[in-house]
Amino acid sequence: MSFGAYQEKGHPMAASQGRLHGTTAVVTGASSGIGRATALRLAEEGAAVVLVARREDKIGEVADAISAQGGRAVTAALDIADADAAARAVETAVSEFGRLDILVNAAGVMLNGDTLQAELREWDAMVDVNLKGLMYMTKAALPHLLDAAKTSDRQVSDVVNISSVAGRAAAPTVAIYNATKFGVTAATESWRQEYTRSNVRFSVVEPGAVDTGLFGHQQQHAQEQSATMFAGVEKLHPEDIADAVAYIATSPRRRAVNEMVVRPTDQA
């Protein structure tokens, strides 16, 4: 694990005047895809961002991009499937920026394929990252989010969990990924009910097909199946989901977005 700080360089940016100015966000999976796009988007809105992922070089690049635009970011290179490491990521936000207002659980693994051909380590990886890592991050963040909701000018804090349309409908060769994403959606709703009167908003975003590297990690048969399924479909960009997260996090206290499904226009 390592932490690297990146400070403002005097470049004018929305960071000094954005709707999230004065807040701190932790984004997991920030090295690529939806996590990366979300971190950049929240920084544009003025949030200081803690970038969490295992690939230190990649989150360093994201931090440099934020810094170059006048924003503030620190990196936390660690594995959120380790509960102690997840807790350290949250503590980094508090020690570096003095608070935590927004948690975006965007880290995800998709290793779909024929059940008989699947390796148990692939199933374990999906459960560890998609579900357990999200649980560990949320557990560690909650005390700080509750405090932010009470003491901040916004009078609200946010947890945004990135699930999937695979958390709404099951499909062949997707059993374990389905299980983790159904779990994310269910846990988010339960937490929403538990903490809604404390002004901690829990939201789940369920993307359809997004143009990220996740599809390339599946078994070859599953990759071919996906290619056929999404032939002719203009996939979403990671920035489309980042916009959805920003809409949720910048909403006034009175408005809570509980669940948002975002599919490509062409996706049935």
Q: What is the pLDDT of residue 181?
A: 98
Which run of H or E residues covers position 104? strand 102-105
What does each C-alpha distance from 141 to 54, 210, 217, 223 come to in angstroms? 19, 27, 30, 35
> CA 127, CA 80: separation in Å to the nearest integer?
12
Instruction: Evaluate whether 86 touches 137 at the Cβ level (below 8 Å).
Output: yes
What are the helix (H) ranges across the chain? 33-44, 56-68, 83-97, 120-126, 134-151, 175-195, 220-229, 238-249
Question: DSSP assignment, residue 156?
Answer: -
177 is catalytic: yes
Task: Copy the structure tokens of residue 79.
Answer: 């594995």
Q: What is the pLDDT of residue 232?
A: 76
Catalytic residue, candidates 6, 136, 177, 195: 177
State percent of the chain over pLDDT 90: 84
What does each C-alpha distance from 3 to 42, 73, 89, 140 come to in angstroms? 20, 11, 9, 18
Which run of H or E residues covers position 50? strand 48-53
pLDDT tens, residue by residue, 162-209:
999 999 999 999 999 999 999 999 999 999 999 999 999 999 999 999
What does each C-alpha distance from 228 to 55, 109, 120, 200, 265 come to in angstroms? 31, 21, 26, 41, 17
- Specify the range with the lowest mean pLDDT, choosing from 72-86, 155-169, 208-222: 208-222
Task: Copy the structure tokens of residue 204.
Answer: 């789940």
Task: Copy the structure tokens of residue 216.
Answer: 């390339």
Q: Which domains does the chain have, with CATH numbers?
A: 2-262 (3.40.50.720)
Neighbouring residues of 73: CB distance < 8 A, sequence distance ≥ 6: 6, 39, 43, 48, 49, 50, 51, 62, 63, 66, 67
Regarding pTM above 0.85, the answer is yes
pLDDT tens, residue by residue, 48-66:
999 999 999 999 999 999 9
